[in-house]
Amino acid sequence: MEIKTDSLNIIDSLMAIFEKHKMQRICILATTCCGKSTLKQKIPGTADMDEELWPQLTRDEEAFICQKPWTKEIGDFAGRLVKERVAVKAGHPLFSLILLDCEVIVYLDISDELLAEHCKKRGTDFLDAKNVKNAIENTWQKQREKNDKICYYLEVTQ
């Protein structure tokens, strides 16, 4: 299902999806600087991949993941750690950069122009955020082709 929405209505759209699938595990995929942390703060009962993973990392793991620029190797390493140490729980949707085992996937998309604007405001490297976005889009497309999960696409337009 595809839903185009602005930042004011994204919460209502997510809440409707969460209510409809409250007994299932929901993973919300979105790149850096897309608003995951802000949305998590505004939607009770949600979890965040970073908050679940970072306390479990060793210094060496953290140093490797924080290298710049972001590369596929860093993403693969982080993905392996996340899949080993973080789980999506039914009734507690998880905001994530990496797809975890779940029944429902929500892809929170953002245009490159808006992503660049958000990155500039946060002082984050656009190329890194774009590389993560590309990896997420690739994962999203593969999941849609497999057709074994319920998939929602939300496009943030502002």
Task: Say yes or no to pLDDT of 132 above 90.
Answer: no
The two most distant CA atoms of the chain are separated, in Å, by 41
Q: What is the mean pLDDT of residues 32-48?
A: 89
Higher pLDDT, 72 or 47: 47
CA distance 136 to 98: 7
67: helix, strand or coil: coil
Contact 143, 99 (CB under 8 A): yes
- Predicted local confidence at residue 147, as pLDDT: 86
Q: Is the pTM of this model over 0.85?
A: yes
- Predicted local confidence at residue 1, as pLDDT: 57
**CATH number where 152 lies:** 3.40.50
Q: What is the mean pLDDT of residues 71-92?
A: 92
- Predicted local confidence at residue 64, as pLDDT: 95
User: Count of domains in the chain?
Assistant: 1
Q: State the DSSP code for 141.
A: H
- Predicted local confidence at residue 22, as pLDDT: 94
Q: What is the mean pLDDT of residues 55-81?
A: 90
Task: Say yes or no to pLDDT of 8 above 80.
Answer: no
Q: What is the residue range of 65's domain?
A: 2-156
What pLDDT band is residue 39 in, cutting at 50, 70 and 90? confident
Task: Say yes or no to pLDDT of 60 above 70.
Answer: yes
End-to-end, the C-alpha distance of the chain in Å comes to: 20
Task: Say yes or no to pLDDT of 154 above 70.
Answer: yes
Tally Cβ neighbours within 10 Å of residue 44: 8
- Predicted local confidence at residue 6, as pLDDT: 56
